[in-house]
Amino acid sequence: MNGRGDTMSRIHQRKQSHVDVALNKDISYHRSSGLERYAFIHNALPDLDFKEIDTSAVFLGKKIQLPLIISGMTGGHALGARINRNLAMAAEKTGIAMGIGSQRIALEHEDMHDMVSSSFDVRKYAPSIPLLANLGAAQLNKGYGLKECRQVVEQINADALVFHLNPLQEVIQGGDVDWKGILPKIGRIVKALDVPVIVKEVGFGISDEVGRRLDSVGVHAIDVSGSGGTSWAAIESRQGSMRRRMLGRRFWDWGIPTAEALQMNKGRRTKLIAGGGIRSGQDMAKSIALGADYCTMASPFLKAAADSPRKVMELILFLELELRTAMFGIGVKDLKMLKGTPSLRRLTP
């Protein structure tokens, strides 16, 4: 097998085993997202008709029914193809946005009839929703540039490109550990790419300092993807060498809790996205009240999509009902009123 083929099969195996571990093992942070430290002041006399509450938002110029984005997770293998298809069908039916997993592997398979590439091709199931392409920012130090970014966007007819920042995960898994000079490279892509660029973590969180630097190069949105949900150190601790397992266990709870990462990044020019440990409509409501414009969720969608599009739809519809109920409970009729509402209080310990 040549060098490229060898790398391909390693990426392929790794991606598949990440999904297997996420579906079958405990990989959640022991520490929470911090959102439970907040509570809304109940409004016993809302001047509202529940039926008129509006949870819709505009994302990347398209209307979505809920401020919700399925976070990028998978593709590149048969199970990933099924998961992406089920997610896309449910997202289209319910009118929410969707991201797909890193398309690095698909760049090596440009033929869309190939299973690897076509596993990312969800546009055919979701013609109208905002779709997000995905690449690891570390690849910008491995020879990837504008050409590859354009390719992944075109491959799925995406509305934006998401770069994921995962330096700690890369160290634990023994992957791409040279992160020098990545920011100006992101900045150059922001300037030249035809679609907006979004930057996210994978669960360790984005601090105020990193948020400020990303803002300075003009990214469209920051998904803080903080700690409290899926722990990538936990995922890495479940597989591979002894070194990887031990390091993964030591860093299981490393990261900035999502509620704190939101506080650190609110009020920037960029759109703010809450991710990492968002598990309910109330988490969504609290995140928006803390300054987020949208929310992302990964792991719960993975589990539902491994079952069926119907399970994904049920999850989305319940999240919507819960968000609406929380909005009714504080008497706000739309997301504009929810964002920054004074009704959210931090509980004293």
Ligand X SMILES: Cc1cc2nc3c(=O)[nH]c(=O)nc-3n(C[C@H](O)[C@H](O)[C@H](O)COP(=O)(O)O)c2cc1C
List of residues contacting ligand X (CB under 6 A):
18-19, 22, 71-74, 101-102, 134, 162, 164, 200, 202-203, 225, 229-230, 275-278, 297-299, 302
Confirm if 133 and 103 have CB atoms less than 8 A apart: yes
**Shortest distance in whole angstroms from residue 333 CB to ligand X:** 28
**Shortest distance in whole angstroms from residue 348 CB to ligand X:** 27
Confirm if 264 and 211 have CB atoms less than 8 A apart: yes
**Shortest distance in whole angstroms from residue 232 CB to ligand X:** 7
**Shortest distance in whole angstroms from residue 296 CB to ligand X:** 7
217-218-219 Cα angle (round to 5): 105
**Shortest distance in whole angstroms from residue 19 CB to ligand X:** 5
Smaller CB distance to ligand X: residue 218 or 300? 300
Spatial CA neighbour of 347 closest among 226, 259, 256, 223: 259
Measure the CA dihedral 123/152/174/276, to 10°: -50
Smaller CB distance to ligand X: residue 99 or 331? 99
> Contacts from 12-15 at CB under 8 Å and sequence distance 24+?
12/76, 12/77, 12/105, 12/116, 14/173, 15/74, 15/75, 15/76, 15/77, 15/80, 15/101, 15/102, 15/105
Instruction: Write the CA distances from 116 to 12, 87, 308, integer angstroms.
Output: 9, 17, 21
Q: What is the chain's length?
A: 349
Task: Name the closest residue to ligand X (Cβ).
Answer: 229
Q: How far apart are CA 100 and CA 267, in angstroms?
A: 28
Instruction: Outline where DSSP puts E strands in 237-340.
Output: 271-274, 294-297
Spatial CA neighbour of 12 closest among 102, 84, 87: 102
Smaller CB distance to ligand X: residue 67 or 331? 67
Smaller CB distance to ligand X: residue 225 or 343? 225
**Shortest distance in whole angstroms from residue 155 CB to ligand X:** 15
Instruction: Determine phi and psi for 152, rounding to 5 degrees.
Output: -70, -30
Per the listing, tokens 């300092």 go with 209
Smaller CB distance to ligand X: residue 295 or 330? 295
Smaller CB distance to ligand X: residue 73 or 344? 73
Smaller CB distance to ligand X: residue 55 or 74? 74
**Shortest distance in whole angstroms from residue 319 CB to ligand X:** 12
**Shortest distance in whole angstroms from residue 238 CB to ligand X:** 12
Smaller CB distance to ligand X: residue 228 or 331? 228
